[in-house]
């Protein structure tokens, strides 16, 4: 926990100059061991997608350049980056000068960010800059939103600590697939305990599928769990994987922006189930309710 809590929950002065040393790596295995996930035998592939809305620097002539930075790195990296350290790191570019013009400066800054993150995460990283926020499309528009189903208005909710026993099998159905989501996702930072809001989307196909009310009750039960975003996504995935032994499974958690950054992990057993716009390096997925 010491490394994770280096900056979280503490008053920190923003660096006035470029500061790669401020980045904090967090080993993935620390949380995976709780759920029986071994780094060398993961039941999924996936990515962590970050959108940083406040990237800015100066050209050599002093003109500010600002826009959105999209960062993508794979779920099999040994480390994740702690979010506040990334915010501080990106802000360390704000008053630095790069390039004789915007394009030259962007090339220097993006290459620098990519190299620094690859060194810290020990994996390949894609870092892309967007001048505008025009979305490419929705990846989840065809998913049923569970809390909007009429029958959910009669469901009683009482558990707010993660309760996998709420996941029950749909008994009276001819379907072998469910594509469902919720905008009721809430968990808490494992260090500061501040709430993190978001949406979760699940594609599951197999001989057993979750009963919708039980699935929503389970997702609501995460409300008081204290984990990082990536860990919540993997927890949901592992619970569904163990309970239903599906042929196809994809879990994506789209968290709200906090401190100028949102984190959107996705995990799946089949690469073709990846949300196209979310993981594509040159696209921006349409924003959701809590973004």
Q: Looking at residues 13-40, what average pLDDT do you find?
A: 92
- Considering the candidates 196, 233, 253, 264, report the single residue annotated as catalytic: 196
HSE toward the beta carbon, residue 258, CA cutoff 13 A: 17
What pLDDT does residue 142 have?
Answer: 93
Question: Lowest-confidence range among 36-40, 47-51, 132-136, 270-274?
Answer: 132-136
What pLDDT does residue 286 have?
Answer: 80
109: enclosing H helix or E strand: helix 102-121
Question: pTM, whole model, 2 decimals?
Answer: 0.92
Domain that holds residue 193: 144-279
DSSP assignment of 253-282 equals EEEPPBTTEEEEEEEESSGGGS-HHHH-TT
Check whether 35 has a pLDDT greater than 50: yes
Q: Do 176 and 80 lie in a common domain? A: no
Q: Do 273 and 153 lie in a common domain? A: yes
Q: Do 101 and 168 lie in a common domain? A: no
Q: Do 124 and 149 lie in a common domain? A: no
Reported as a single tens digit per residue, the pLDDT across 42-71 is 999 999 999 999 899 999 999 999 999 999
Taking the C-alpha atoms of residue 278 and residue 285, their distance in angstroms, rounded to an integer, is: 5
What string of H, E and C letters represents the secondary structure of 121-169?
HCCCCEEEEECCCCCCECCCCCCEEHHHCHHHHHCCCCCCCCCHHHCCE
Q: How many CB atoms lie within 10 A of CB 133?
A: 11
Active site residue 189: yes
Check whether 1 has a pLDDT greater than 50: no
What pLDDT does residue 285 have?
Answer: 86
Q: Which of 74, 97, 130 is the last residue of a domain?
A: 130
Q: Do 97 and 119 lie in a common domain? A: yes
CB-based contact 167:178 (threshold 8 Å):
no
Check whether 134 has a pLDDT greater than 90: no
DSSP assignment of 38-101 equals -TTS-S-EEEEEEEEEEEEEE-TTS-EEEEEEEEEEETTSSEEE-HHHHHHHHHTTTT-B--SS
Residue 4 counted as domain residue: no
Residue 9 counted as domain residue: no
132 burial type by CB count under 10 A (0-12 exposed, 13-18 middle, 19+ buried): exposed
- Considering the candidates 48, 139, 189, 264, report the single residue annotated as catalytic: 189
What pLDDT does residue 175 have?
Answer: 81
Q: Do 116 and 149 lie in a common domain? A: no
Taking the C-alpha atoms of residue 188 and residue 227, their distance in angstroms, rounded to an integer, is: 6
Tokens of 129: 């800059």
114 — alpha (psi -120 to 50), left (phi > 0) or beta? alpha
Q: How many CB atoms lie within 10 A of CB 9?
A: 12
Taking the C-alpha atoms of residue 78 and residue 122, their distance in angstroms, rounded to an integer, is: 7
Q: What is the mean pLDDT of the chain?
A: 92
Q: Which of 99, 130, 161 is the last residue of a domain?
A: 130
Strand, coil or helix: 227 = coil
> Considering its fold, how many domains does the chain have in total?
2
Check whether 9 has a pLDDT greater than 80: no
Check whether 122 has a pLDDT greater than 70: yes
What pLDDT does residue 259 have?
Answer: 84
CATH number of the domain encompassing residue 265: 3.30.1130.10
Check whether 2 has a pLDDT greater than 60: no
pLDDT band, residue 4 (cuts 50/70/90): low
Check whether 149 has a pLDDT greater than 70: yes
Q: Do 108 and 43 lie in a common domain? A: yes
Residue 94 counted as domain residue: yes
Q: Looking at residues 261-287, what average pLDDT do you find?
A: 93
Residue 188 counted as domain residue: yes
Q: Looking at residues 174-182, what average pLDDT do you find?
A: 92
Q: Do 85 and 199 lie in a common domain? A: no
Residue 53 counted as domain residue: yes
Q: Do 102 and 219 lie in a common domain? A: no
Q: Do 204 and 265 lie in a common domain? A: yes
119: enclosing H helix or E strand: helix 102-121
pLDDT band, residue 133 (cuts 50/70/90): low
Q: Do 124 and 245 lie in a common domain? A: no
Check whether 106 has a pLDDT greater than 90: yes
Q: Do 105 and 166 lie in a common domain? A: no
pLDDT band, residue 192 (cuts 50/70/90): confident
Active site residue 196: yes
Reported as a single tens digit per residue, the pLDDT across 202-235 is 999 999 999 999 999 999 999 999 999 999 999 9
Share of the chain above pLDDT 90, in %: 80
């Amino acid at each position: 926990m010491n490394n994770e809590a280096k900056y979280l929950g503490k008053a920190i002065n923003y660096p006035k100059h470029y500061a790669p040393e401020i980045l904090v790596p967090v080993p993935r295995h620390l949380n995976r061991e709780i759920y029986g996930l071994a780094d060398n035998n993961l039941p999924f592939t996936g990515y962590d997608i970050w959108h940083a809305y406040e990237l800015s620097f100066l050209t050599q002539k002093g003109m500010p350049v600002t826009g959105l930075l999209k960062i993508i790195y794979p779920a099999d990296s040994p480390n994740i980056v702690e979010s506040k350290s990334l915010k501080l790191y990106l802000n360390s570019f704000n008053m630095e000068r790069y390039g004789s013009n915007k394009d030259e400066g962007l090339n220097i800054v993006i290459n620098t960010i990519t190299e620094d993150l690859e060194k810290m995460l020990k994996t390949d990283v894609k870092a892309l800059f967007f001048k505008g926020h025009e979305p490419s499309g929705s990846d989840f528009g065809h998913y049923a939103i569970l809390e909007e189903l009429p029958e959910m208005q009669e469901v009683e909710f009482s558990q707010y600590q993660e309760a996998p026993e709420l996941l029950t099998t749909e008994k009276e159905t001819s379907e072998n697939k469910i594509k469902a989501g919720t905008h009721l996702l809430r968990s808490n930072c494992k260090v500061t305990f501040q709430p993190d809001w978001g949406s979760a989307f699940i594609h599951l196909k197999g001989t057993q599928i979750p009963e919708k009310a039980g699935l929503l009750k389970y997702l609501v039960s995460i409300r008081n769990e204290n984990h990082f975003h990536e860990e919540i996504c993997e927890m949901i995935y592992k619970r569904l994987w163990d309970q239903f032994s599906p042929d196809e499974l994809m879990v994506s958690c789209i968290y709200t922006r906090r401190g100028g950054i949102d984190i959107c992990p996705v995990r799946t057993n089949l690469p073709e189930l990846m949300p196209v716009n979310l993981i594509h390096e040159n696209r921006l997925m349409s924003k959701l309710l809590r973004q």
